[in-house]
Amino acid sequence: MRKALEGVRVVDMTHVQAGPVCTQLLAWMGADVIKIERPGGGDVTRSQLRDLPDVDSLYFTMLNGNKRSLTLNMKADEGKEVFSQLLERSDIVVENFGPGVMDRMGYTWERIQEINPQIIYASLKGFGPGALETAKAYENIAQATGGAMSTTGFEDGPPVVTGAQIGDSGNAVHLFGAICAALYQRTHTGRGQRVQISMRAGILNLCRVKLRDQQRLEHGPLAEYPNEEFGDFVPRSGNASGGGQPGWAVRCKPTTEKGANAWVYVVIQPQVWEPLMHKIGRPDLIENPDYATPEARLPHLPDIFDVIEQWTLTKTKWEAFSELNAINVPCGPVLSTKDLIEDEGLRAEGVVVAVDHPERGTYSTVGCPFTLSDSPVEVKRSPLLGEHSAEILEELLDRPEGELERLTAAGAV
Ligand code: CAO
């Protein structure tokens, strides 16, 4: 079966997390993704956070599956010649270097268009035009500057970053969508285009509801927040739901000595109020005027979740989930990374996937989070550094046999 992006070639100039996650998605959709890496070390993540000596780290292998690797010295003339030739024969080029790096290499948007007017040139940076434009950015800088940190955590504690890598992997998904849209538009116009995203803009997109609340705040306190006092900005609101239905994480009976993740998240929809109160043994609250309607409940949410917790503390998180789910209460156990990596259901679903690697053996990775009925994803291992250099030079760029050795001696690959 043909894949959604079969026949599409991507020159992948990405490194670290944000860019590689985007190009991995393109590769899973069937694009031929050629990862360009500096000779010698390659993407810095190959050797960062290693769990085993001298093999590509999980940081690298989990973000670079299904790609081919070509080493290229972008500061050598012959390296640039190879790169230009690749651009001529490709559909997309993606990069997430620091500001100005591609221009300094000699590849401005104007130059790239001259080489191939049909190419889509996608860049991810920390920031768009303005005061922060020239700044480099990592995940937590994006979370700090995009509104995620100031709104995460508890009121009386410091700003907190989320475990989910919304600045890097989150923005990779934005970029993937933008590239696919540009590719589709090209089918009408025949032209490539410039695609740009800043990590901060992407975070702000994910913090949309917090900007909603900033504007609601002008008209009075946010009644559904657990906070008692409000200033002139949206406060951190702990585990409050952020939506129109109140929610909170409540403790459960621990199953391990530490029980660090013995919690279940519970949302109180109006229609489940009565069965929920019956379930937890508090039918007296159903008609109590302080609790009977969603509006009446708002000032009492901490008390209500305390009452629910008295019940959940007598159940494990899975028992609590299954009993509440049975009466249609929206809820979910707080699952640890250990819970998730051992989850047979996630493996059956193809979300957690085992992959064989010639140097590190079998490792687990996260597969494609979505499915297309006509474009099944086969998760393959990441390439070794320069593993495909010879085949790309000879088969794709029509260079003569032995070109790899010659260019290596010249310091270009
Ligand atoms: N051959 C030769 N040189 C190469 C090369 C190659 N194949 N690939 C990269 N380089 C060189 C570049 O030319 C550049 O050198 P100059 O500064 O002399 O022009 C340098 O390597 C890369 O620079 P950089 O600024 O991208 O890298 P850094 O490690 O200093 O910064 C990062 C990393 C992530 C902070 C920066 O790339 C960045 O801000 N990227 C945009 C935002 C982003 O993606 N952040 C998410 C990172 S994931 O947490």
Pocket test for ligand 1, best of 57, 101, 203 (most atoms within 8 A of CB): 101
Residues 320-337: what's their mean pLDDT? 98
Whole-number percent of the chain with pLDDT over 70: 100
Instruction: Reply yes or no on whether the pLDDT at 71 is more than 70.
Output: yes
Beta strands in 236-340 (DSSP E): 247-251, 263-267, 331-333
Ligand 1 geometric centre to CA of 16 (Å): 9
CA angle centred on 388, ends 80 and 385, rounded to 5°:
85
Residue 328 token pair: 């249609």
Ligand 1 geometric centre to CA of 208 (Å): 29
Average pLDDT, the chain: 97
Which residues 6+ apart lie within 8 Å of 47 measured at CB? 41, 57
The set of protein residues with a Cβ atom below 6 angstroms from ligand 1 is 16-19, 36-38, 72-75, 96-98, 101, 104-105, 124-126, 136-139, 168
Q: What is the pLDDT of residue 257?
A: 65
Nearest atom in ligand 1 to 17's CA: 48
Q: What is the pLDDT of residues 257-307, one digit of tens each?
A: 677 899 999 999 999 999 999 999 999 999 999 999 999 999 999 999 999
Helix (H, G, I), strand (E, B) or coil at 277: helix
Convert 100-116 to b/e letters by CB count within 10 Å (16 or more is b): ebbeebebebeebbebb
pTM above 0.95, yes or no: yes
Instruction: Return the higher-pLDDT residue of 132 and 256.
Output: 132
Helix (H, G, I), strand (E, B) or coil at 354: strand
Ligand 1 geometric centre to CA of 10 (Å): 19
Whole-number percent of the chain with pLDDT over 90: 97
Q: What is the pLDDT of residue 259?
A: 72
Q: What is the pLDDT of residue 260?
A: 86
Q: Kindly calculate the radius of gyration of the chain based on its CA atoms and give it in whole angstroms.
A: 26
Q: What is the pLDDT of residues 306-324, one digit of tens each?
A: 999 999 999 999 999 999 9
Residues 241-250: what's their mean pLDDT? 91
Q: In the chain, what is the greatest distance between 2 CA atoms, to the nearest angstrom?
A: 84
Q: What is the pLDDT of residues 10-32, one digit of tens each?
A: 999 999 999 999 999 999 999 99
Q: What is the pLDDT of residues 179-221, one digit of tens each?
A: 999 999 999 999 999 999 999 999 999 999 999 999 999 999 9
Q: Which of the residues 168, 232, 339, 398 is marked catalytic?
A: 168
Distance (Å, whole) CA 9 – CA 120: 11
Q: Which of 91, 80, 186, 120 is nearest to 411 (CA)?
A: 80
Q: Which of 339, 382, 378 is nearest to 357 (CA)?
A: 382
Residue 53: exposure state from Cβ atoms within 10 A (0-12, 13-18, ≥19)? exposed
Ligand 1 geometric centre to CA of 104 (Å): 11
Q: Which of 117, 132, 131, 87 is nearest to 105 (CA)?
A: 87
Q: Which of 343, 330, 245, 328 is nearest to 294 (CA)?
A: 245
12 φ/ψ angles, rounded to the nearest 5 degrees: -100, 100
Its sign, for the CA torsion 55, 58, 62, 63, is negative
List, as one string, the DSSP characters of 179-218.
Answer: HHHHHHHHHHH----EEEEEHHHHHHHHTHHHHHHHHHGG
Which residues 6+ apart lie within 8 Å of 313 measured at CB? 251, 252, 253
DSSP state of 79: H
* HEC string for 124-183: EECCCCCCCCCCCCCHHHHHHHCCCCCCCCCCCCCCCCCCCCHHHHHHHHHHHHHHHHHH
Distance (Å, whole) CA 133 – CA 135: 6
Instruction: Reply yes or no on whether the pLDDT at 241 is more than 90.
Output: no
Say what the alpha-carbon torsion angle 150, 152, 157, 161 is, to the nearest 10 degrees.
Answer: -90
pLDDT band at 9 (very low <50, low <70, confident <90, very high): very high
232 noted as active-site residue: no
Distance (Å, whole) CA 255 – CA 115: 61
Alpha carbon 205 to its chain centroid, in Å, reads 13
